[in-house]
Amino acid sequence: MDDIAERAALFSRAAHQAVGQRRKYSGEPYWHHPVAVAEIVSAVETATPEMIAAALLHDVLEDTGVTPMDIEECFGQRVATLVQELTDQFVDPEIGNRAHRKALERDRLAQVSPEAQTIKYADLIDNTGSIVARDRGFARVYLAEKRRLLEVMAGGDQELRRKAWSVLMEGEVKILGAASSARTSNR
């Protein structure tokens, strides 16, 4: 692993641990998720050390006390820009309901850099399996949101985008299959 990625891994782990963050469904330390996203990104032929670092840091602005300036000071402007591109901008409920906020976020993500979109594909890949396996009710909402996102977020690595589509469709089959089975057994 490149030095910037090693530093980002340590920084991300410390930031997520400092707030005691855990994965919602598994209870495992949260920092496992950014590591998994970075591993997916690192397999992309065009991945740069800055992309891998940003993948490791992609949730720190949303979930910890880390600021954009902290990221820039420690990892440089490019990593800071990527992390900011990956950070949800429309989280305030005053903006509107979840559907409205996700539509605004989708429009924004359609315009971010190809590198940020590539990282977002990896994030979707890592999150989808956990959500589908552990929260089928929310998975319906999540998968519909991510389908609409992938329809407009087309500028990243195309091989990884295809994998994201595949993971999304597998999740839809599991959820629709479970719903179909439940309706059949209730007859």
Catalytic residue set: 62-63
The CA distance from 53 to 41, in Å, is: 10
What is the token pair recorded at 101? 């906020």
Q: Return the ∠ at Cα 131 (arms to 156 and 145), rounded to 5°.
A: 50
What is the token pair recorded at 173? 């089959």
96: left (phi over 0), alpha (psi -120 to 50) or beta: left
Q: In Å, how far from its chain's centre is CA 61?
A: 13
